[in-house]
Amino acid sequence: MRGRPHPTLRDAAVLLGLAVYALPFIWQVLTSLKPEAELMRLPPLLPSRLSWEHYQVVLERSLMLRALLNSLGVGLLTTGLALALGLAAAYGFARFPVPGKGPLLLAIVAGTAFPQIATVSPLYLLMRALGLRDTWLGLILANTSFALPLVVWLLAGFIRDLPVALEEAAAVDGAGRLQTFQWVVLPLVAPGLASAALLTFLFSWNEFLFAYTFTATEASRTAPVALALFPGVFEVPWGDIAAASILASLPPIAVVVGLQRFLVRGLVAGALRE
């Protein structure tokens, strides 16, 4: 082809372009490090010195630390619950003649399309009745209601794609159901599980509607809600909010950037089913 740009230059240009795309986030990081007096004046764009005052305020004087802990706990437990139930169900659907399998699976897949706004008011009444408002358990159940259908769908597809021959060979070798599952199926499904875990944790951490409605105090309030309710007295404390935003973003960024390849695999597997 004529006029192809030099590959390394092209690569660098793409990287630069993507860095510009991430500018809003980078700007927020800069804001969080700007001394208070320099916040409301532009220029200069860059802070004259790095100031940790905003992070100090957030960590010492706001309830953000507790909120981060809540998010972590709810996220991990939701992931655990969704994976455990989802894997069992997926294996059941994929390998066993469950009566009504077709309609059930269809119903579960339809469940991934439900809007949260539709179930939030009945769930609110349910939480109230069961005394689960402002508890971790309430949030975990609510989050799982949306994570589980996705996990089942993802994993059912994964398992279905695994050739049955491997499990049959194990059976011929005298392995029981449980052993076959543990030593043959599980290792093969591991990448799918990783993807499902990643997506579930991400969804749970970033979830806002349920967390905003079902939590009341710092006992269960998650990071996004704490950020939304960030206290300011007269004016909006942009620097503190920026610091709180960065803190609330670090775990999901770490998970997504660190486990990139599972993300690609998971999304693609779900999307390019059959």
Partner 1 sequence: MSLRAAPRTGLLLVAPALLLLAAVTAYPALWVLWLSLQRRVPIFGIAEFEGAGNYLFLAGDPRFWSATRITLAFTVISVLLELVAGLLVALALAGQRRGRRLALSLLLLAWALPGVVTAKLFEWLYNPAAGLVNYLLLGAQINWLGDPALALPGLIVADVWRTMPLVALLCYARLLTIPAEIYEAARVDGAGDLAAFLRITLPLCRSILLIALLFRTLDALRAFDLMFILTGGGPAGTTETLTVYAYRSLFQTLHLGLGSAIAVVVFGLVMLVAWGYLRALRREGLTA
Partner 2 sequence: MTRAILAVCLAGALALAGCADSPPRDGGGGPVTVVFKHAKLLGPVDPLAPLLVEFAALHPEIRVRAEALPWSSDEQRQFLVINLEGGNPGFDVMMLDCIWVPEFARAGWLLDLTPSLPPGELAAHFPSAAEAARYRGRDWALPWMMNVGLLYYRADLLARHGLRPPETYDELVAAIRRIRAAEGNPRLEGYLWQGKQYEGLVVNVLEGLWAAGTRVLGDDGRVFPDPERAEAVLRFLRGLITEGLSPPWTTAADEEITRRAFGQGEAIFLRSWPYAADLFELPDSPVRGKVGLAPLPRHATGTAGAGSTGGAHLGVARGTRHPEAAITLARFLTSERAQRVMAESGAVKPTRPALYHDPALVRAFPSLPRIHDLTLAGRPRPVTPAYVILSTTLQPELSAALVGVKTPAETVAQSRRRLEFLLEGLGG
Interacting positions 221-240 with partner 2 (CB under 8 A): 229, 231-235
Residue 238 CB burial class (10 angstroms; 0-12, 13-18, ≥19): middle
Q: Kindly indicate which of the ranges 4-12, 166-174, 210-218, 263-271 contains the residues binding partner 2, using the contact rule CB under 8 A.
A: 210-218
Q: Which tokens hold the place of 180?
A: 């076959």
Judged by beta carbon, residue 8 or residue 217, the one nearer partner 2 is: 217
Q: Kindly indicate which of the ranges 52-60, 72-80, 94-102, 183-191 contains the residues binding partner 1, using the contact rule CB under 8 A.
A: 94-102
Q: What are the distances in angstroms from CA 89 to CA 98, 167, 181, 264, 272?
A: 10, 18, 13, 23, 21
133 touches, from partner 1, partner 2, none (C-beta below 5 to 8 Å by class): partner 2
Q: What are the distances in angstroms from CA 54 to CA 211, 236, 254?
A: 25, 13, 22
Distance, CA of 175 to CA of 193 (rounded, Å): 23
3-state helix vs strand vs coil in the chain, percent to 5: 75, 0, 25
Question: Can residue 8 be called a binding residue for partner 1 (CB under 8 A)?
Answer: yes
Distance, CA of 219 to CA of 213 (rounded, Å): 14
Question: Can residue 91 be called a binding residue for partner 1 (CB under 8 A)?
Answer: yes
Judged by beta carbon, residue 79 or residue 245, the one nearer partner 2 is: 79
**Shortest approach of partner 2 to residue 102 CB, angstroms?**
28
Question: Can residue 114 be called a binding residue for partner 1 (CB under 8 A)?
Answer: yes
**Shortest approach of partner 2 to residue 31 CB, angstroms?**
20
Among 205, 214, 221, 237, binds partner 1 (CB under 8 A): 205
Question: Can residue 10 be called a binding residue for partner 1 (CB under 8 A)?
Answer: yes
Judged by beta carbon, residue 30 or residue 188, the one nearer partner 2 is: 188
Question: Can residue 251 be called a binding residue for partner 2 (CB under 8 A)?
Answer: no
Distance, CA of 101 to CA of 240 (rounded, Å): 52
